[in-house]
A and B are shown apart, each in its own frame.
Chain A
Amino acid sequence: MSSPTWRLSWWLIRAQFMTRRTATALSMLAIALGVSLGYAIHLINDAALADFSQAMKSVQGEPDAVLAPRDSSGHVPLALVDALAKDEAVALAVPVIETRVRLDDTATTVRLIGLDVFSAALLMPKLMPRQSGPEGATTNIFEDGVFASPALLARLNARVGAGVTATRGAARWTTRIRGDLPAVRGDELLLVADIAWVQAHFGPREGVGEVRLRLAPGVRPATWIATWSARLPAGLGLRAADDNLARMSNVSRAYRVNLNVLAMVALLTGAFLVFATQLTAVAQRSTQFALLGVLGLPPRMRLAQVLVEGLAIGIPGAAAGLGLGYGLAVLFTRLLGGDLGGGFFAASSPVVVPELAPALGFFVLGCGASLMGALYPAWLNRVQPLAQALKTGFAQLAPAAAAPRRGRQVALALVAVAAVALTRLPAIDDLPLAGYTAIALVLVLGIAAAPAATRLVFGALARTALPAPLRVAVQNILQAPLMAQVAASGLIVSFALTVSMVTMVSSFRTALDHWLDDVLPAPMYMRSKGVPLPADMLAALEQAQSPFARVERMATVMLTLDPRRPPVALLVRELDRADPAARLPFTGAVLAAPPGRITAWISEPLQELHGLAPGQTLRLPLLGREVEVFVGGVWRDYARQFGAVVIAAADYRALGGSVAATDLALWPRPGQEDAAGLWMREQAARHGIEGASSGEIRELSLSIFDKSFAVTYALEAAAMLIGLFGLAVTLAASVWLRARELATLSALGFDRAMLGRAIVFEGALIAVIGLVLGLACGIAVGAILTHVVNPQAFHWRMPLQVPWTQVLLGAALTLAAGMGASRFAARQATRLPAAQVLASAQ
């Protein structure tokens, strides 16, 4: 463009922004919101993953491969460590024993890492201890003693030289803090000691926990791993270094994708707002554009101008979004850590580091959304017939759409069929991509149905005997439905999203509520994360004077079924093998195992992930070997997204396992509830373990649930506001466009109240169409979210539960707000003196 054209363009943009300040600002805000949400999710997750991998590197080093038992209670035999070390392809084999211990019966449990300094110094230099004994070092790491991280020393308020007792179940090590770990990150609570001392006190007797390996230069890790894997005993697995990160990334992947879809929704609403704003802008300025056209502005310039205006909204919006997203990410990580509210990366406080490429990507996405919104208005502006526009203003291209064509109906039917078909498809790469596409198709269907619905409703009304002003309104929309359709589709989309979210959340919450009833049969629970419960406490429960009538113990072992997936929890429970349904909420039939077979009851997520069915055989890496178990049933589990297996403690013992209980379910003796509660609280405080009544657990679970869905509620509110705003803007524009007509009517004797009623009536009708279609789409989308997206992304199922009260209340409120918006538009329009309007029209 030449410089005068630029100047013209700039002048038009400025005029546009000045006259439509609120609309422009809101469009920018919506774009900014979409960009910021997506960008913040990206930043937080990136930071959390970087933080995780850095923490892992400092503690684990950067091995090429890790040999570990597939069963968290297993070990790597010493002979195998030696065999690995002797392999010429292995440059370095670093044996490690890592466990969790309780310190001095305090509330502190810490990681205790047993190292062999000879090998570990090269792979994990950050874990190297510094001995700082009094008057020069008289000890070294090979002797009795532990080395504490700075954070742990601070937590214990202890100094080097202090005595310390570490316990794990019945095992106990009384020793001394010989020095510190100067290179360990500030927030890590850990102890390092010589591997032999850890082994002597906490086992494993004839092996080590895992072996981290560096391969010799020139050795291809994948080939080497494949060769060795074929020779390993069933209980052991070799994983490549990047499996760890892949696994961590998988942990939060589905959750993240869901949030990103929400961000896309925000961005799309932004695009819709730009669309509504630009459409009205084009309509309102059609005379000016026509004049410019007559003066020589080519049609493609008219097209470009609207697009440039779209960009002018998109660029500041996207830029503000980046800033906002960064701020959000920083705030979020400071307040809540890097887990995006999902509880995945506990206890990390990652640092957000923005990089250029992703920032540019999100910026382009924001601009793209606003360009997309401006596309149709721009095209409309290009094809305006100049002469007509000069005389009578904006010309709608309605006639073509007036008669429904068969092709269009067929297309819509095809879209509907496709949407249904997509919901039948399985997850792609573990993500419910087909489900998301089906949701998009449902929304497309809703919007596409708007013209037909408009015609239907207003056509029917046109045939009834209405007062003249209302009839005018009805006829007006029937003849020129574009604005009404735009307003209605905004409402359709926003209300559909709101209804679907509310439906999904409500279904989930109801299901969770029922599930909590089923899984918390005991009045009290105690749990010690990662460390077996103290032996003396368990012994006290065996005493005759204990206030409990019944105690059920549970131990958890993590099993690696697939090295690239998070491990599966094996829950070893004291339950009645003949009646597992007394403790587990089964979703279907419970089968009895054939004689001599061990039964396992798998959780719903495990069933989804591994495609298992009751009656089939599952191979579990248990106690150093592969054990075949009979799948006796599937139970509902909303707590462990990556799968869980329950087996009876008696069976586990029969296999040779020992049950180191970490969880207790407690039934107080009748009449001794208070004493039992007191006992539990006292023990919990003494040993630093968790104890709670089933009511408290239930309350806590539901409040966590509500908190983690808080973001969704906020988005719903934002979507509704945007939909309403779209309605107000388009209504105001359509009224403005009809200023002459209204002035004529008023000259003919219509008073203001009559005109106002007509406009409010029109707004209400549009809102009703939008809400009804939105409700239908919303329930469909909610059903897809509940029955397709949730099982595929999170592997849990639940019955659909539409919260009618909330939904209808929301609809009524929206309708009222929509009528309020149209009243406002009406007042704007009828305030103009009719004579002036009529005069200026000539």
Chain B
Amino acid sequence: MQRRSFLLTPLLLPALAAARDAPRYAVASRATRLAFPRDHGAHPDFRTEWWYVTGALDAPGGGMGFQLTFFRSRPGIAEELDSPIAASQILFAHAALTRPGQRLLHAERAARANLGAGFSTTDCEVHVGAWSMQRSGAGADEHFRLVAQDAAFAFDLRLTPTQPLLLQGEGGWSQKGPRPELASHYVSWPQLRVGGRLVIDGKAQEATGRAWFDHEWSSEVLAAGAVGWDWIGINLDDGGALMAFRIRDAAGNTLYAHASLRDAGGRLTRFGPGEVGFTPVRRWTSPRNGALYPVQMEIRVGPHRIETAPVADDQEISARRPLPVSYWEGLVAIRGTLAGRGYLELTGYAGALRL
């Protein structure tokens, strides 16, 4: 998915564009056959990687959403340095909590591998400080454990699969632009059952709900002229799962788009650029930076027409690390020919992201 690499590449390391000796990054290849749990682990030869969990919690009084993301970046610097703590692999993590009608809670962490952060290359096991995401168990016991804590909130969640993995694109090889080199490896796991504990302002509560897991790694995904993207992943009420994205240029035109729908019966349908459309219905203005986010969007995927209804308008995230950036990522209810709850991500609306 471009969405996160878009965030990462410019933000993390502005120097990279001008890196003198471009490091040899691995390239996402259509021929690669993914194997699990190994491919749940990190792929440090690639430039960028993330493990992204978003979910809706069943809370009294309406929808509550959470997000925990780990980014791994190989900026291509200090690669020759003979030190176990060279900054050649850097990890970032974001955690956020949406409460209906209230401001989003957000926290972030950053550290280099071997010095306060780490990842496994054999399974999903990644941490930055005391924040972690770990897969373990097999069969009915297989689950992810997500741990994050900050001054205002903390959670310790257990995510249990109810469906098989979903390999996006062609067996996990996902094309991101008009040219075939622009591609990533992309694995989703929708409809994860959530259980665990949530603490807000020191008050602990039980948490249940549904989550969506994404794991994606790539070295080059961005088409020229792209300024941002719209992305959505929806756990449908009937047990199905829908993912759709588009990449926009400065004028708001779509440069590339794609969607996939797995219905309750497990049948997977893919939709190409011509079959996917995003149309803003209502915009919300950020009081902090004046950005106009199309939080209410009509999305067309093949024969389906759906509309997003955010549980709160202000789900803008202003991250400071590694560089200041603002984007909108939040829990939305879905109405239309399909119904469910999903996460909508809107980037490139709060001023120009530096590339």
Contact = CB atoms under 8 A, between A and B. Distances in A.
Contacts of B130: 85-88, 90
Interface centre among A81, A137, A196, A208 (most CB of B within 10 A): A196
B14 A137 contact: yes
A452 B85 CA distance: 81
A602 to B, nearest CB: 38
B103 to A, nearest CB: 20
Interface stretch (A138-146, A354-362, A681-689, A807-815): A138-146
B68 interface: no
B11 interface: no
B148 to A, nearest CB: 10
A626 interface: no
Interface string A85-121: 1111010110100000000000000000000101100
A679 B253 CA distance: 77
Contacts of B127: 86
A206 interface: yes
B77 A196 contact: no
Nearest to A93: B116
A88 B87 contact: no
Given A118-B111, A139-B15, A217-B151, A199 B116 contact: no
Contacts of A90: 129-130
B261 interface: no
B15 A118 contact: no
A514 to B, nearest CB: 51
Contacts of B129: 85-86, 90, 92-93
A216 interface: yes
Interface in A203-230: 206, 208, 216-217
A95 B116 contact: yes
B42 interface: no
Contact of B115 (A92, A95, A144): A95
A206 B84 contact: yes
B117 interface: yes
A554 B170 CA distance: 68
A196 B86 CA distance: 5
Contacts of B31: none
Contact of A199 (B85, B112, B117, B118): B85
B13 interface: yes
B205 interface: no
Given A88-B149, A200-B81, A82 B86 contact: no
Interface band, chain A:
20 to 34
A143 B117 CA distance: 20
Contacts of B118: 82
Interface string A722-760: 000000000000000000000000000000000000000
Nearest to A206: B84
Interface string B117-129: 1100000000101
B303 to A, nearest CB: 48
Nearest to A142: B87
Given A142-B75, A197-B83, A81 B15 contact: no
Interface band, chain B:
20 to 34
B251 interface: no
Contact of B78 (A78, A137, A142, A216): A142
Given A139-B15, A217-B151, A196 B83 contact: yes
B87 to A, nearest CB: 4
Nearest to B117: A85
A716 interface: no
A309 interface: no
Contacts of B13: 140
Contacts of A762: none
A355 to B, nearest CB: 34
A216 B109 CA distance: 14
A422 to B, nearest CB: 55
B110 interface: yes
A81 B115 CA distance: 7
A195 interface: yes
Contacts of B86: 142, 196, 200
Contact of A200 (B14, B82, B115, B117): B82
Contacts of A118: 90, 110-112, 116, 321
A66 B115 CA distance: 16
A116 B111 contact: yes
A128 B151 CA distance: 25
A594 B323 CA distance: 63
B138 interface: no
Contacts of B149: 88, 216
Contact of A140 (B15, B81, B117): B15
A142 B77 contact: yes
A194 interface: yes
Contact of A138 (B15, B78, B132): B15
Given A86-B130, A200-B86, A81 B116 contact: yes
Contacts of B84: 78, 206
Contacts of A200: 81-83, 86
A82 B14 contact: no
Interface centre among B75, B77, B116, B151 (most CB of A within 10 A): B116
B83 A116 contact: no
A195 B18 contact: no
Contacts of A82: 114-116, 118
Nearest to B78: A142
Contacts of B132: 86
Contacts of A144: 78, 81
A116 B147 CA distance: 24
A374 to B, nearest CB: 61
Interface in B30-44: none
Interface string A491-513: 00000000000000000000000
B133 to A, nearest CB: 13
Contacts of B114: 78, 82
A140 B85 contact: no
Contact of B15 (A119, A137, A217): A137
B48 to A, nearest CB: 17
B322 to A, nearest CB: 8
B146 to A, nearest CB: 14
8 contacts: A78-B85, A78-B115, A85-B117, A85-B130, A86-B132, A118-B321, A199-B83, A216-B149
Given A78-B84, A116-B85, A206-B84, 15 more contacts: A82-B118, A85-B111, A87-B130, A88-B130, A88-B147, A137-B14, A140-B15, A142-B77, A142-B87, A143-B77, A194-B78, A196-B85, A196-B112, A197-B83, A216-B149
**In the A-B complex, the 3 residue pairs with the closest CB atoms:** A85-B116, A142-B87, A200-B83
